[in-house]
């Protein structure tokens, strides 16, 4: 039986998933990315600094990640190193963006997969926000509207949490997270100018000053976010894990893992990073080589060559190509399928015994849930890895603010050469993000982005190997093949961003 899960909601963008179900088991899955804009064509021939702004419009959920990746690529091309303050401001902007994104993902995008929103009707307490929500839901249900209490109802059929107290607590945190994510973004905007789509991040630093009043405002906001992460986010993830332990074994991708590492601890892009880069294949972590990345388009809607390296990439759309089922290309590392994202980040750092806080948190939670670190490759593992990333990043951001030198320069002078090239690699919240830029005659001759969801939601490559999400879906047992809440939970655990993946 063939069932399409799209349009998948509570993700970014236009994703459909075509599944084949036999005897209540998903035996095949195809990820279909359904929105194409052609960013690389739009970038060709433009002023190189335009990339700083244009590439952010690839994604309004994680624009800062694109701003940072583009900055790194341009810095390499321009031979530019920011002053110490400049790199710290980059980190403060990008790190705060990660925090908002994790909270948004767990509460707004994922929680309704597990939490029973109707539990609010049993609320008897005095919290103003919850009383308001209760009376609103009551009024909606009594209104006779065709779709009352939208967008929270209707929902997929399935088993939701049954503990009324936990459901109500989670709904309270859903509302609180909507407030807290704003604080993370306000912090980012202090140095980034605004959010979404920062105007204040450049190759070579940020033009905003490192002024003590700004630094203090940033610290104050991030402390509030950090408090929420420890008091609510981590415990809520743990509570969902306790109620749905089978999801440590559901949604397991069948390839390797890739992370470019996150947040350099020094002005140079190749300084040691807060989370270490690496590619994890066959249980072994190796250094990342950008030349090992190729992109297949056999099943994607392009007439371009297949298996091309990043430097030689092409973009020739073929919207009606026979045998193609998506706009997403299939990137591969040494020809191998890999998963990127929070679980890859944490597993690769942990395997290298690199960040002591990562080690402590992974050890604590694997013991608490009686799982192995390799089980971070699962629905719950991805949720937990995000929360661990959040805790580690929040602490780092506060320590970075102490390293700022108030009044010292924050921005290097930019000179754009006639001919140059550069790679810029960082971790977006959704995973490994690579920008490549080649400049000829002072203009962009080539720009290529290989984006996290391009990896995770990739179609079959030319050898027929499924992408990470496809492989994680195949084999899943589903109670209701028509709705497949189990599959939707797997999709959500990857936090797909389709605008990013195709761009």
Partner 1 sequence: MLDRRAFLKLAATMTAAFGVGNLPDPVAAALNKLDPAQVPKLIYLQGMSCTGCSISLLQAESPSAATMITDYAQLVFHADLSAISGRGALEVIEQYLAGQAGEYFLAVEGAIPADMPEACVIGDKPFADYLLQAAATMTAAVAVGACACDGGVPAAEGNPTGAIGLQEFYNRHNVTKPVIQLRGCSVHPDWLWHTIVHLVKVGMPELEDGSPTLFYGRKVHELCPRYHDFQQEIFARKLGDKGCLFKLGCLGPDTYADCPTRWWNGGQTWCINANAPCIGCASPTFARRKDFPFYRIGEKNRRTTS
Could you give the CA distance from residue 202 to residue 71 in angstroms, rounded to a whole number? Answer: 6
Q: Which is nearer to partner 1, 5 or 337 (CB)?
A: 5
Minimum distance from residue 150 beta carbon to partner 1 (Å): 5
Contact segment (CB under 8 A) with partner 1 among 202-210, 283-291, 306-314, 448-456 equals 202-210
Nearer Cβ to partner 1, position 137 or 269? Answer: 137
Q: Where are the alpha helices (DSSP H) in 143-206?
A: 164-192
Residue 292 interacting with partner 1 (CB under 8 A) = no
14 forms part of the interface with partner 1 (CB under 8 A): yes
CB of 22 to partner 1, least distance (A): 19
Cβ of 54: how many Cβ atoms within 10 Å?
18
* Structure tokens given for 132: 């308001």
Is residue 407 part of the contact set for partner 1 (CB under 8 A)?
Answer: no
Q: Does 417 bind partner 1 (CB under 8 A)?
A: yes
Ranges within 363-392 binding partner 1 (CB under 8 A): none
**Residue 178 binds to partner 1 (criterion: CB under 8 A):** yes
317 binds partner 1 (CB under 8 A): yes
Max Cα separation, the chain?
Answer: 69
Binding mask 60-99 for partner 1 (x = CB under 8 A): xx-x------------------------------------
In angstroms, give the least distance from the CB of 201 to partner 1: 8
409 forms part of the interface with partner 1 (CB under 8 A)? yes
Q: Provide the token pair at 48.
A: 């190189």
Window 211-230: residues binding partner 1 (CB under 8 A): 217
Please say whether the beta carbons of 387 and 106 come within 8 A. yes
Please select the residue that binds partner 1; options are 2, 145, 249, 477, rule is CB under 8 A.
145
Q: What track of x and - describes contact with partner 1 for positions 38 through 67 (by CB under 8 A)?
A: xx-xx-xxxxxxx-xxx--xxxxx-x----
**Which of 58, 73, 77 shows the shortest CA–CA distance to 442?**
77
Sign of the torsion angle spanned by Cα atoms 374, 265, 212, 184: negative
C-beta closer to partner 1: residue 24 or 108: 108
Question: In this structure, what is the dihedral angle of CA atoms 264, 269, 272, 275, given to the nearest 10 degrees?
Answer: 50
102 binds partner 1 per the rule CB under 8 A: no
Indicate the angle between helix axes 63-78 and 84-103, nearest 10 degrees.
150
CB 185 → partner 1: shortest distance, Å?
6
Interacting positions 438-497 with partner 1 (CB under 8 A):
442, 482-483, 488
| 408 is an interface residue for partner 1 by CB under 8 A | no
CA dihedral 358, 452, 295, 18 (to 10 degrees): 120
Q: Does 238 bind partner 1 (CB under 8 A)?
A: no
Nearer of residues 143 and 353 to partner 1, judged by Cβ = 143
Q: What is the residue whose two structure tokens read 């920008």?
A: 435
Rounded Cα–Cα distance for residues 327 and 19 (Å): 18
Alpha-carbon distances, residue 345 vs 127, 359, 390, 392, 477 (angstroms): 38, 12, 12, 12, 28
**By the rule CB under 8 A, 195 interacts with partner 1:** yes
Alpha-carbon Rg of the chain, whole angstroms? 22
Closest listed residue to residue 426, CA positions, set 277, 315, 298? 277
Min separation Cβ 149 and partner 1, Å: 9
- If the CB atoms of residues 424 and 481 are measured against partner 1, the closer one turns out to be 481
- Judge whether 405 and 77 are in contact, CB under 8 Å: no
Nearer to partner 1, 124 or 441 (CB): 441
Interaction between residue 267 and partner 1 (CB under 8 A): no
Q: Could you tell me the smallest distance in angstroms from the CB atom of residue 419 to partner 1?
A: 10
Beta carbons of 298 and 460 less than 8 angstroms apart:
yes
Neighbours of 266 (CB within 10 A): 14
Residue 265 interacts with partner 1 (CB under 8 A): yes or no = no
Q: Which stretch binds partner 1 (CB under 8 A): 107-115, 227-235, 347-355, 453-461?
A: 107-115
Task: Return the number of the residue (329 or 354) whose C-beta is nearest partner 1.
Answer: 329
Tell me how far apart the alpha carbons of residues 248 and 372 are, in angstroms, rounded to a whole number.
10
Tell whether residue 413 is a contact of partner 1 (CB under 8 A).
yes
């Amino acid at each position: 039986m063939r069932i399409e899960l799209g349009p998948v909601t509570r993700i970014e963008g236009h994703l459909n998933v075509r599944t084949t179900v036999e005897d209540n088991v998903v035996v095949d899955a195809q990820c279909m990315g359904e929105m194409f804009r052609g960013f690389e064509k739009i970038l060709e021939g433009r002023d190189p600094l335009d990339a700083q702004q244009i590439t952010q419009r690839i994604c309004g959920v994680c624009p800062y990640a694109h701003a940072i990746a583009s900055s790194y690529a341009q810095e390499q091309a321009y031979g530019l190193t920011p002053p110490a303050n400049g790199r710290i401001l980059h980190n403060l902007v990008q790190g705060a963006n990660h925090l908002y994104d994790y909270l948004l993902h767990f509460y707004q995008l994922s929680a309704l997969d597990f939490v029973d929103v109707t539990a609010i009707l049993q609320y008897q307490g005095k919290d103003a926000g919850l009383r308001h929500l209760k009376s609103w839901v009551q009024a909606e249900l009594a209104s006779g509207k065709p779709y009352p209490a939208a967008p929270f109802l209707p929902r997929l059929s399935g088993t939701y949490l049954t503990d009324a107290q936990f459901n109500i607590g989670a709904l309270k945190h859903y509302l609180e997270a909507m407030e807290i994510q704003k604080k993370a973004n306000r912090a980012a905007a202090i140095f980034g100018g605004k959010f979404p789509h920062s105007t204040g991040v450049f190759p070579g630093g940020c033009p905003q000053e490192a002024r003590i009043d700004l630094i203090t405002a940033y610290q104050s906001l991030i402390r509030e976010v950090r408090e929420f992460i420890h008091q609510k986010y981590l415990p809520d993830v743990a509570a969902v894990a306790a109620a749905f332990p089978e999801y440590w074994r559901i949604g397991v991708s069948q390839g390797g893992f890739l992370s470019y590492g996150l947040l350099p601890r020094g002005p140079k892009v190749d300084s040691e990073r807060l989370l270490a880069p690496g590619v994890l294949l066959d249980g072994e972590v190796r250094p990342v080589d950008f030349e090992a990345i190729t992109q297949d388009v056999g099943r994607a809607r392009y007439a371009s060559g297949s298996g091309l390296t990043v430097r030689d990439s092409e973009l020739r759309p073929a919207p009606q190509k026979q045998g193609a089922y998506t706009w997403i290309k299939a990137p591969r590392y040494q020809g191998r399928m890999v998963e990127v994202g929070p679980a890859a980040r944490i597993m690769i750092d942990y395997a290298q015994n690199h960040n002591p806080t990562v080690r402590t948190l992974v050890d604590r939670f694997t013991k608490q849930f009686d799982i192995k670190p390799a089980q971070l490759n699962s629905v719950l593992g991805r949720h937990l890895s995000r929360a661990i990333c959040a805790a580690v990043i929040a602490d780092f951001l506060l320590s970075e603010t102490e390293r700022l030198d108030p009044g010292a320069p924050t921005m290097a002078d930019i000179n754009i050469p006639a001919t140059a090239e550069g790679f810029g690699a960082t971790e977006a919240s959704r995973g490994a993000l690579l920008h490549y830029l080649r400049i000829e005659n002072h203009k962009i001759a080539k720009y290529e982005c290989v984006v996290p969801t391009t990896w995770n939601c990739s179609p079959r490559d030319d050898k027929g190997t499924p992408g990470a999400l496809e492989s994680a879906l195949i084999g899943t047992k589903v109670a209701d093949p028509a709705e497949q809440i189990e599959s939707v939970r797997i999709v959500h655990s990857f936090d797909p961003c389709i605008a990013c993946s195709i761009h």
